[in-house]
Amino acid sequence: IAEAQDKICPKHSVYEPQQEVQSTYATLYDLYRKIYFEFGNPERSPFGDVLPKLIQIARG
């Protein structure tokens, strides 16, 4: 079984954060949390600023 599993299961990949872009990671995580916790909340705050911020991050 172990041999068959080794043949059909992909190897795990490990991604390490890059310290030089830590502030970008933090900004993206804040935007993610804002959207995640506001969807489905009838009293949610507006999050129309999220897409422009994502575009700004993508453009560098």
CB 47 within 8 A of CB 38: yes
Four-point Cα dihedral 16, 20, 25, 28, nearest 10: -140
CB 25 within 8 A of CB 17: yes
User: Which pair of tokens denotes residue 37?
Assistant: 């916790």
Give 4-53 pLDDT, tens digit per residue: 988 899 888 898 989 999 999 999 999 999 999 888 888 878 888 999 99
**pLDDT at residue 27, as a whole number:** 96
**pLDDT at residue 46, as a whole number:** 83
Predicted TM-score (pTM) of this structure: 0.64
Find how far residue 12's CA is from the centre of its chain: 19
